Amino acid sequence: MNAFQAWLQGAVGKSRLEEVLALLLFCPMLILMLQNHDHAAFRASDINRIVVTGIVLASYIVIVKVQVWLPDVLVRFMAGGIRFMRDALPFMLCIVIYTNMHNMVHIVNPNDVDPMLAEWDLALLGFHPAVELQPWVTEPLTDTMAFAYSLFFIHPLILPLILYWRGQYEYFRYTMVCLILTFYLGYIGYILFPATGPKYELAELFTVRLNGTAITNQLEFLMNVEISERTRRDAFPSLHNAITLQTLLFAALYVRWYFWLMLPLALLLFAATIYLRYHYVVDMLAGYVLALVVFWLGPKLERAWNRWARLY
């Protein structure tokens, strides 16, 4: 083993599982951005997001290294804050990578599978659910669904914070590792199965607009413009369904009162993915399967990684 291999093995051994996964995704994403910065898929908002991603990654590296750079007495004084930042930043990095990934999918794989997914829905149900829901579309219901859908990033933040605050660090780690792993596996799904969702694939079948109040319109603006509706491919699997179900499962396991509080909002979110025309039913099912597999596998991977890392 040469010096570089020894250094790399030691660096990986001192890292956490989600940290290695973040670097494995961030590096090719950065290369793609540099190679295709003038591609039609990218706009100023896309460049800004990858700059933010880089800032978060740099902040994370500083947090990891600060324990080496600072005097021991200062490190001990800041130990709680440093630990929290190291625990929190990988999730933040995961989210900012998410905002970049779905716009790059079409560069890696330009072959959309929307017709196939729509056919799968027809084969499974005999109809397109989002189309059949049109008679029930109302402004108050659209506002309610848009609000529930917007809680996608809130649910997986609150539960880990509760566990962290209660000092249940092992449960916190299992929850965070599984959520982050689900996100990253979902990104791979986006690349393998690029899809825009029924809102665009089945546009000619929709005769009723999803009109809401200013709140809904602003949320739709953020979804469709600030995150590039022209280029985004983030339907299969549905991470809205996967992450929300997984958060529910961990809440049922570790914080039962939060499970009951979250349950009605989560059910609304599940329904909103169809009502708002963002996902096919097969997207939802794929998301549920992903959530269940990682819920079972994630803690085992975390324990195995920790055993291996202790060797270094």
pLDDT in tens, 233-245: 778 899 999 999 9
What local confidence, expressed as pLDDT, does residue 253 receive? Answer: 94
Give the CA diameter of the chain: 68
pLDDT above 50: residue 127: yes
> pLDDT tier at 41 (50, 70, 90 boundaries)?
low
DSSP 44-87: HHHHHHHHHHHHHHHHHHHHHHHHHHS-HHHHHHTHHHHHHHHH
pLDDT above 70: residue 78: no
| Direct distance between the N- and C-terminal alpha carbons of the chain, in angstroms, rounded to an integer | 15
- How far apart are alpha carbons 54 and 63 in whole angstroms? 14
pLDDT in tens, 137-167: 888 888 889 889 988 888 998 999 999 989 8
Which of 226 and 288 is assigned the larger pLDDT? 288
Percentage of the chain modeled with pLDDT above 70: 69
Could you tell me the two tokens for 260? 């009951």
- How far apart are alpha carbons 198 and 203 in whole angstroms? 7
What local confidence, expressed as pLDDT, does residue 12 receive? Answer: 55
> pLDDT tier at 102 (50, 70, 90 boundaries)?
low
The model's pTM: 0.82
Q: How far is CA 89 from CA 52, 85, 138, 300, 306, in A?
A: 13, 6, 40, 22, 19
Domain that holds residue 88: 3-309
Q: Count of domains in the chain? A: 1
pLDDT above 50: residue 226: no
State the residue for tokens 């794989």.
Answer: 109
What local confidence, expressed as pLDDT, does residue 80 receive? Answer: 60
DSSP 223-292: IIIITTTTT----SS-HHHHHHHHHHHHHHHH-HHHHHHHHHHHHHHHHHHHHTT---HHHHHHHHHHHH
> Are 237 and 287 contacting, i.e. CB atoms less than 8 angstroms apart?
yes
136 exposure class (CB count in 10 Å sphere: 0-12, 13-18, 19+): exposed
What 8-state DSSP symbol labels residue 15? S
70-74, 197-201, 226-230, range with greatest mean pLDDT: 197-201
Minimum mean pLDDT range among 34-38, 124-128, 150-154, 304-308: 34-38
Which of 67 and 174 is assigned the larger pLDDT? 174
What local confidence, expressed as pLDDT, does residue 81 receive? Answer: 64
Could you tell me the two tokens for 88? 């929190």
Minimum mean pLDDT range among 43-57, 105-119, 142-156: 43-57
* Per-residue three-class SS string for 159-227: HHHHHHHCCCHHHHHHHHHHHHHHHHHHHHHHHHCCCCCHHHHCHHHCCCCCCCCHHHHHHHHHHHHHC
Minimum mean pLDDT range among 40-44, 113-117, 186-190: 40-44
14-18, 63-67, 195-199, 271-275, range with greatest mean pLDDT: 271-275
pLDDT above 90: residue 61: no
- How far apart are alpha carbons 127 and 87 in whole angstroms? 45
> Are 97 and 187 contacting, i.e. CB atoms less than 8 angstroms apart?
yes
Which of 142 and 37 is assigned the larger pLDDT? 142
Mean pLDDT (whole number) for 49-54: 64
What local confidence, expressed as pLDDT, does residue 225 receive? Answer: 45
